[in-house]
Amino acid sequence: MTTLLKNVTNSIWHAFRALQQDCSGFVGKSKLKVLTANIATLLDLYGVERGLDHYRSTPTLNFDHYLYYLSQEVFCSMSNELPLSAVRNYESKIDEVCWLVCHKDFQLKDAYFTEEVTYQLFRIFCMMADLYNDELDDNLFTVKIHPSEALIVVKQLLNSLGLDYNNEEKYDYLKKWDDGLDFGEFLAILRFKDFDKLNDYVASICEAIRDIYQTLIMDVIKKGYLFRRGYVLPTFREYFFVLQPCELTYYKHHTDREVCGTIALDSKFTVKPFIPSSGKTERIPKFTLISGDRAYELGAHDHKTRLQWISALQLAITYSTGREGFQRDTVNRRKQQRELELRKRQEEERLRSIHLKQLEETNVQLEQEKLARLAAESQARQYEAVAREDSRRVAELEDVKLCLERMLEDEIQAKRDEEIVRALQARVLAEEWEKREELEQLQSEQKALLELERQKRIEFEHMQQENEKRFKEAEQKLRQLEEERKKLDRELNMARQKIQLSEDNKGIVEAKLQKFVLQAIAPTYRKAPDFMIRRTQSFVASDRPVIVAVPR
């Protein structure tokens, strides 16, 4: 499905419903031919309606079949790469054709809205509504707007009229209502009958709806007065600018319909604020719209307005290359958010239903167990009564048996006593043998433990002796090292004394040697240059050995 068909599906559905004779969801092909021919003519296509005669071989079609035919025979020739301005132009024409078919169903008896305003509300409704399939009949479809989307339009309308939305409590039911609104119900919630007595109220509400129409359908991101520097005369002139995702249009006044100029926007445009040189305060806050070598210098009334226009222009440039406008993209994102929330609620409801089902099953099991317990208790009471009766009879039989046994006990008493004594003796002997075996086992275990302890003790004593031996050797070695240290200290002191003595002797020898050298070389170098004499004196004064060169 092309983007254009997706955008006009809701308006086509309204025209399709207006052509129905009944509520069966089917329309005759003869009526659909006329609608198809009108839509195809707007797209510069001719004769495509004739294919309906051979489509599905039925005299009528439901909306799903008709929509499939449009996508395969009419809108398939439209490219998905159409620019946004062309898509918006086709949408306007197709919506107008569909409105001409279905507008009689929405003519208001009270002239609350003009026909133009009703058409604008129709286009707003079709953009923000969704197509639903009937759960009971697959041939029936309906277009409804979500209450949250309707509330957005109501809020914008109330704000445009200078009314406080928070005080309108009659719209609170829409916040909790999940069912959608059709176009008739949508028009009903926009009729503010409580304010009909105000002067020019109808004209005000129509003007407010026109502004909302420009914002949502014409995709006007921002509009207002700006200054523009001319090309011939480099002076700023004030114009009324209207910003859309694909173009920036300006007029002499906001009531004028004659366009003074249009700037086509694309992804190559950039917006940069004008920074005055040398820190001067600019009288008009300016910014520049740049595309390649072309630059448009614009100015705002204040700094805040300039920031708002820069942000709006950047947003328009971002959406200039898209196939859907800013407002439609915003509506789609809200739809996706609602779908995510709906799936989340459905999952929560599913989990809650599973939990409730498990609770019900548990309660049923508990009731069954309770009934089973009561039945078991009743049966136990019956068995108890029978057992008491049986016990009474058994007691009587026991008395008879005791009488008979007393007569036999005297005869077998001796044998029984003898057997008992033998059994006791055998048991005592068996217990003695078991205890004896246990004592022998305990004795062997104690011997093994004693032997193990003895071996450990011997090893410990051996280790203790070795440690004492090592300790004595370490003490002896420590004393030897102490004596050697003292000896080395004495030798070190003697060496230091010798070094001190040698240094003292060295000073005396060096003084004598210096004196001797000076006396020896004085006659030889008396006529030498001054620098050689200074060098010789420096060598003599230094601690280095002086090599005396004797001339031949």
pLDDT value at 543 more than 70: no
Cα separations in angstroms, 364 against 351, 359, 371: 20, 9, 10
pLDDT for position 548: 41
Cα–Cα distance measured from residue 300 to residue 443, given in angstroms and rounded to the nearest whole number: 112
Which residues 6+ apart lie within 8 Å of 508 measured at CB? none
Does the pTM surpass 0.75? The reply is no
Nearest to 296 by CA among 347, 252, 241: 241
Phi, psi (5° rounding) for residue 133?
Answer: -100, 140
Helices (H) and strands (E) in the chain, counts: 12, 11
- Give the pLDDT band of residue 367 (cuts 50, 70, 90): very high
CA atoms within 13 A on the CB side of 226: 31
pLDDT value at 166 more than 70: no
What is the DSSP-derived secondary structure letter of residue 181? B
- What is the average pLDDT score of the chain? 84
What is the DSSP-derived secondary structure letter of residue 550? P
pLDDT in tens, 184-214: 888 888 876 555 544 456 778 888 888 899 8
Orientation of helix 84-102 relative to helix 3-18, angle to 10°? 10
pLDDT value at 252 more than 80: yes
CA trace torsion 88, 94, 95, 98 (10° rounding): -170
User: b or e along 354-392 (b: 16 or more beta carbons within 10 Å of the residue's beta carbon)?
Assistant: eeeeeeeeeeeeeeeeeeeeeeeeeeeeeeeeeeeeeee
- Give the pLDDT band of residue 352 (cuts 50, 70, 90): very high
Cα separations in angstroms, 513 against 198, 262, 394, 548, 550: 132, 111, 147, 12, 16
What is the DSSP-derived secondary structure letter of residue 83? -
pLDDT in tens, 82-117: 788 888 899 999 999 999 999 887 765 555 678 888
Cα separations in angstroms, 323 against 5, 72, 215: 12, 20, 17
Cα–Cα distance measured from residue 77 to residue 477, given in angstroms and rounded to the nearest whole number: 110
